[in-house]
Amino acid sequence: MTDRTTPQATAHASAFRSFAELLLACRELFASRLGAALANTAAEVDATFQQRRKAAEDLGESLKLLEAQYQLRALARDLPRKFATAFEAAYLRRTEAQQDATATHTGEECLLPAFNLFATHEVEISDEVRTFCAPAEASASAELAAWRPRLALLLGREQVDAAADPFGPAAVCEAVLASCADLAATLAHREEIVAALINSALGELPELLRNATALLASHGVATPTTALQGSAGRGDSIVVTDEGAGGAAALPAAHSSATLGAALAELQRGAPALRLGPRSFALVGVAGDPPNVLRHLLANGLGEVLEHADRIVVDVVAALFEHLFNSASIPAAMKNLIAELQLPVLRVALADHSFFSDRSHPARRLLNLLSLAAATWDGEFGPDSALYRKAVELIDAIRRNPDQDREHFEAGRAALENWLNEQERHADARAAALTERLEARERQHLARQEARAAVAATLADESLPASLREFVGETWVKVLAAAQLDGGSSGLRWRMAMATLEDLCWSVRPKHGSEERERLARLLSTLLGSLREGMDAVGSPAPLRDAFQAELVRLHAAAVKAGMNQPSPPPPAAEARQPAYRGDAEPEPDRSGEFEVDLLSRGEWVELREPAGSVRRVRLTWVSPARTLYLFANRQGQRAVALTREELIRRYASGEAVTAGEDDLLDHIVDQALDSHENKA
């Protein structure tokens, strides 16, 4: 039997420790390159539509092209990410393990069998996909012939056909079609857009396949014909056989999970080496910072003396800690603390395989919480920080316990979660001290906004004297804002201020006839009193008030004089109807950023990129009632920052702000490590 969980040893040092990592690297290569190609093609198609629309003489065709541009630009905004998600789905559909129908149902789902070799299975593809991918299969036949035997070896299959190839034309076509799902089915130019995108992606495939084949070959992944001809080496990076074929050595006697668990317990208690029968594996010269003890043991031959399932468990747990150690978001001090859990976590994973299937397993949750807490800790994380001291306390309690079972991890998880919840309550209490001032600030902002909207038409009316418009824009807008704060836009004070503004504007227009002049004379006393009362209410200085009143006397005199020298104006003409469509209209401006801000809710974590390039992870602790202000603070409730909605939208649109949801910060690292082995090993 051949162990295909990890690649053959090569003469040079490999950057990949397992087939799973090689497959993941290939998937990321395809997703990145194809996503970039799709984005470029979308821009080219948009430019073509723009040229055709401007040259179109038929209004109907011009409108169809305009709608196609709207939808294409909406699709292109996030096309690489959409494609990466769809490509991953097409990939997993072709690599997921089949369930054994004869297996005994235990009532507990365990993902461990999915780490074994995959069974060959049929993948159904649509007629549309067949139509698109048939020419690509022919044009890339040489590249596919070199690629698929190696891929079959990685997947543990006898062969991989066109439909089941997770990197082939069919999978790529599926992913592009799924990425275009938001295009309206009735869109006139939908088929043209989809065809251009699919042909662009398929055009990249031959070179991508050559690159991926070279990558596998450079890391010792030979075709099945040559896989058994290499010399066997030590560690988990060899192809082991128990058939004696090709001169390979027979497997040594395998030790059980219980034996390995007992040996790990001795090692945890301070033994200088891990002893299994006649073999001894010393912890000398363990590489890495922090050191990956499990990877060191595997590299020194531990996998050779373990049962197949246990060897996979050790490999997956080692990869899990590698993901944690390689995470840029976790401080180095926390990585060193987490490293002390390698042996306890391995022991519980060997004894309890639900560790791999249950995302709420206490050992996984504890690693998740430690990683999240450290990643969101603002400021220096070290021995002097409260979180560091709490983590040391919990990890020491687990390491000192001789029985590594889930109950002890559950106790640690609960203690850490309670402590973190208490920290968040303190943080919210600190942030709450700011909310009263922020709410007042929001009310003032909204009042000013409504006041500016109310005087916008007056300020834009160039028939009014410039001095009056200046007074309205600088002084009377404050009077309206104060009135809005006092009773809202339906209150008496607001209605009186708006009536005064209307009278003021009428008073400076030319007065035609004796009736208008008499009305002005009757209005003046009330108008001047209302103006003076409004300016006094907002604290306008007396010189400013007196100067405007003097200017108003001049404007009224000019209005009377102008009315006597000019004939009465004709009735206003009806507005000319504007055409519903203009041939030179452009698609609506990009509003990216609004959607992300609208989805934000209290308690979510956001990464804010500072001008110097550093990243702060802050928690949304408060949103103003009208959602115009957002208050963020760190886990300690310190260094709070309040951002307006407009500023937050700008940051999201520019990439300076990114939502770091629970899936990204809490479960991302651990689950990515485990799921990658479940689906790709």
Note the pLDDT tens digit of each residue in 398-412: 988 877 678 889 999
The percentage of residues in the chain with a pLDDT greater than 90, rounded to a whole number, is 35
Neighbours of 375 (CB within 10 A): 24
Instruction: Give the count of alpha carbons within 13 A of 189, CB side only.
Output: 24
Q: What pLDDT sits at residue 576?
A: 54
Could you tell me which residue, 213 or 662, shows the higher pLDDT? 213
**Chain CA centroid to CA 359, Å:** 21
* Contact by Cβ (8 Å): 491, 483: yes
Cα separation, 55 vs 281, in Å, equals: 76
Cα separation, 388 vs 72, in Å, equals: 50
Indicate if the pLDDT at residue 122 is higher than 80.
no
The answer to whether the peptide bond before residue 571 is cis (omega within 30 degrees of 0) is: no
The chain-wide mean pLDDT, for the chain, equals: 79
Mean pLDDT confidence for 621-643 = 79
Neighbours of 504 (CB within 10 A): 22
Mean pLDDT confidence for 323-348 = 89
* Contact by Cβ (8 Å): 507, 521: no
The string of pLDDT tens digits covering residues 39-48 is 999 999 999 9
Buried b (16+ CB within 10 A) or exposed e, 363-373: bbbbbbbbbbb
Query: What are the φ/ψ torsions at residue 259 (nearest 5 degrees)?
Result: -65, -45
**590 falls in which pLDDT band (50, 70, 90)?**
low
The string of pLDDT tens digits covering residues 268-313 is 888 888 888 888 888 877 777 888 899 889 888 888 888 878 888 8
Range in 173-182, 183-192, 446-455 the model is least confident about: 183-192
Range in 111-125, 129-143, 355-369, 551-565 the model is least confident about: 111-125
Helix %, strand %, coil % for the chain, to 5? 60, 5, 35
The percentage of residues in the chain with a pLDDT greater than 70, rounded to a whole number, is 79
Place of tokens 């890495």: 288
Q: What pLDDT sits at residue 672?
A: 55
Class of domain 594-662: mainly beta
Q: What pLDDT sits at residue 675?
A: 55
Mean pLDDT confidence for 7-33 = 67
Range in 8-22, 363-377, 431-445 the model is least confident about: 8-22
* Contact by Cβ (8 Å): 314, 274: no
Mean pLDDT confidence for 54-63 = 85
Mean pLDDT confidence for 475-489 = 92
Q: What pLDDT sits at residue 209?
A: 94
Cα separation, 633 vs 616, in Å, equals: 10
The string of pLDDT tens digits covering residues 59-90 is 888 888 888 888 899 899 889 999 999 999 99
The string of pLDDT tens digits covering residues 600-629 is 888 888 888 888 777 788 888 888 888 888
Radius of gyration of the chain (CA): 36
Indicate if the pLDDT at residue 581 is higher than 50.
no
Q: What pLDDT sits at residue 677?
A: 52
Residues with Cβ within 8 Å of residue 645, at least 6 apart in sequence? 597, 627, 628, 629, 630
The string of pLDDT tens digits covering residues 1-17 is 333 333 333 333 345 55
Highest-confidence segment of 83-97, 344-358, 535-549: 535-549
Query: What are the φ/ψ torsions at residue 543 (nearest 5 degrees)?
Result: -60, -40
**457 falls in which pLDDT band (50, 70, 90)?**
very high
Which stretch of DSSP H or E encloses residue 476?
none
Indicate if the pLDDT at residue 415 is higher than 50.
yes
Strand partners, 488: none
Neighbours of 73 (CB within 10 A): 16
**360 falls in which pLDDT band (50, 70, 90)?**
confident
**572 falls in which pLDDT band (50, 70, 90)?**
low
Which tokens go with 488? 């809202």
The string of pLDDT tens digits covering residues 124-147 is 889 889 999 999 999 999 999 999
**210 falls in which pLDDT band (50, 70, 90)?**
very high
Which stretch of DSSP H or E encloses residue 616?
strand 615-623
Largest separation between any pair of C-alpha atoms in the chain: 120
Could you tell me which residue, 429 or 466, shows the higher pLDDT? 466
Q: What pLDDT sits at residue 671?
A: 54
Query: What are the φ/ψ torsions at residue 667 (nearest 5 degrees)?
Result: -105, -10
Indicate if the pLDDT at residue 350 is higher than 80.
yes
Indicate if the pLDDT at residue 478 is higher than 90.
yes
Question: Is residue 215 packed enough to be buried (19+ CB in 10 Å), middle (13-18) or exposed (0-12)?
Answer: middle
DSSP state of 394: H
Neighbours of 344 (CB within 10 A): 22
From the list 170, 207, 209, the residue with the least C-alpha distance to 91 is: 170
**666 falls in which pLDDT band (50, 70, 90)?**
very low
Number of H helices, E strands in the chain: 26, 7
Residues with Cβ within 8 Å of residue 10, at least 6 apart in sequence? 218, 219, 220
Cα separation, 387 vs 331, in Å, equals: 12
Tell me how many degrees the CA angle 422-426-428 measures, rounded to the nearest 5. Answer: 115
Could you tell me which residue, 200 or 246, shows the higher pLDDT? 200
* Beta strands 273-276 and 629-633, pairing class: unpaired
Cα separation, 452 vs 518, in Å, equals: 32
In this structure, the chain runs to a length of 681
Question: Is residue 139 packed enough to be buried (19+ CB in 10 Å), middle (13-18) or exposed (0-12)?
Answer: middle
Neighbours of 663 (CB within 10 A): 9
Residues with Cβ within 8 Å of residue 518, at least 6 apart in sequence? none
Could you tell me which residue, 212 or 615, shows the higher pLDDT? 212
Q: What pLDDT sits at residue 241?
A: 29
Instruction: Give the count of alpha carbons within 13 A of 153, CB side only.
Output: 24
What does pTM read for this prediction? Answer: 0.47
